[in-house]
């Protein structure tokens, strides 16, 4: 049984339909990447998994339990945590408080706490009293990842980690992923950077116009097939 799966997932913003029957699965310990162009439905998928967009209960199943209709705050309590697109740090909170608020519903069990997050991103400890929004984009992303880890999630959702960051910073951010997986979290990464996605993921789903157009292991997918699934036309 998959740890997390969607069954014919649909999503709407008013009259606009963003997802059309999306089926994905995430196995325990796995890292999957969702790739696609702007407007492909990647973020809508993530928002649905995180409970920001609510669906029919059976459309999202975690460990055999239907969770599609739960609110975001209850989804966190079930073990799914999200690094949102654009980081979305709380400007009124310091770096340390941003991290602490990530553990709001945590019962204290699990390997992630302030010390382990600071060990992974040492520069955050030096700036722990700084307001979250006063950091550079890369440092903000580290806080956003640390904040999501503070709830000790079983599933970590990462929405556009590389957005607006310099390549060298992106490399540093993604360097943390193996440690996060080693600590027990399964990961879903949404990326526009195809190369980065293929590098870190065990499996890849490509989306276009709210549908999954391609899936498979990175080594099994040809450049031509990815290009067609990503843009809708061949090279």
Partner 1 sequence: MIWVDTIVQGILLGGLYALFAAGLSLVFGIMRLVNLAHGDLIVLAAYLLLVIVTMLGLHPFVAALVATPIMFAVGYGLQRHVLNRVIGPDILPPLLVTFGLSVVIQNALQEGFSADSRRMPAGSLETASLPIGPVTVGVMPLLTLFTAIGVILALQWLFYRTSLGRAFRATSDDPVTASLMGIKPQRVFAQATGIAMIVVTIAALYLGTRSNFDPSIGPARLIYAFEAVIIGGLGSLWGTLAGGIIIGVAQTLGAAINPEWQILAGHLAFLLVLLVRPRGLFPRATD
Q: Interface with partner 1 by CB under 8 A: which range of 23-31, 32-40, 74-82, 117-125?
A: 74-82
By CB under 8 A, tell whether 149 contacts partner 1: no
Q: Which of residues 98-127 bind partner 1 (CB under 8 A)?
A: 100-102, 104-106
* Residue 163 interacting with partner 1 (CB under 8 A): no
Query: Binding to partner 1 by residue 76, rule CB under 8 A?
Result: yes
- If phi > 0 it is left, if psi is from -120 to 50 it is alpha, else beta; for residue 100 that is alpha
DSSP assignment of 129-171, as one string? TSBGGGS-HHHHHHHHHHHHHTT--SEEEEE-TTTT--HHHHH
CA dist 36 and 192 (Å) reads: 6
Q: Which of 32, 25, 21, 31 is nearest to 1 (CA)?
A: 25
Q: Which of 48, 81, 139, 213 binds partner 1 (CB under 8 A)?
A: 81
* Residue among 4 and 226 whose Cβ is closer to partner 1: 4
Among 2, 88, 114, 125, binds partner 1 (CB under 8 A): 88
**Residues from 28 through 47 that contact partner 1 (CB under 8 A):** none
In the complex, the residues that contact partner 1 under the rule CB under 8 A are 50-52, 71-73, 76-77, 81-82, 84, 88, 90-93, 97, 100-102, 104-106, 147, 151
């Amino acid at each position: 049984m998959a740890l997390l799966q969607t069954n014919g997932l649909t999503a709407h913003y008013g009259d606009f339909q963003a997802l059309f029957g999306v089926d994905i699965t995430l196995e325990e310990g796995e890292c999957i990447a969702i790739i696609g162009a702007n407007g492909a439905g990647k973020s809508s998928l993530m928002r649905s998994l995180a409970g920001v967009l609510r669906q029919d209960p059976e459309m999202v199943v975690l460990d055999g339990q239907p969770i599609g209709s739960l609110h975001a705050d209850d989804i966190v309590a079930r073990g799914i945590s999200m690094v949102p697109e654009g980081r979305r740090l709380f400007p009124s909170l310091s770096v340390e408080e941003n991290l602490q608020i990530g553990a709001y519903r945590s019962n204290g069990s699990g390997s992630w706490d302030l010390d382990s997050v600071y060990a992974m991103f040492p520069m955050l400890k030096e700036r722990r009293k700084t307001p979250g929004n006063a950091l550079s984009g890369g440092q903000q992303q580290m806080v956003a990842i640390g904040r999501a880890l503070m709830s000790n999630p079983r599933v970590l959702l990462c929405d556009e980690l590389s957005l607006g960051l310099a390549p060298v910073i992106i490399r540093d951010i993604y360097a943390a992923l193996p440690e996060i997986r080693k600590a027990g979290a399964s990961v879903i990464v949404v990326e526009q950077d195809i190369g980065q996605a293929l590098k870190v993921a065990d499996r890849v789903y490509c989306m276009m116009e709210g549908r999954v157009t391609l899936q498979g292991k990175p080594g099994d997918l040809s450049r031509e097939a990815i290009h067609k699934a990503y843009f809708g036309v061949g090279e």
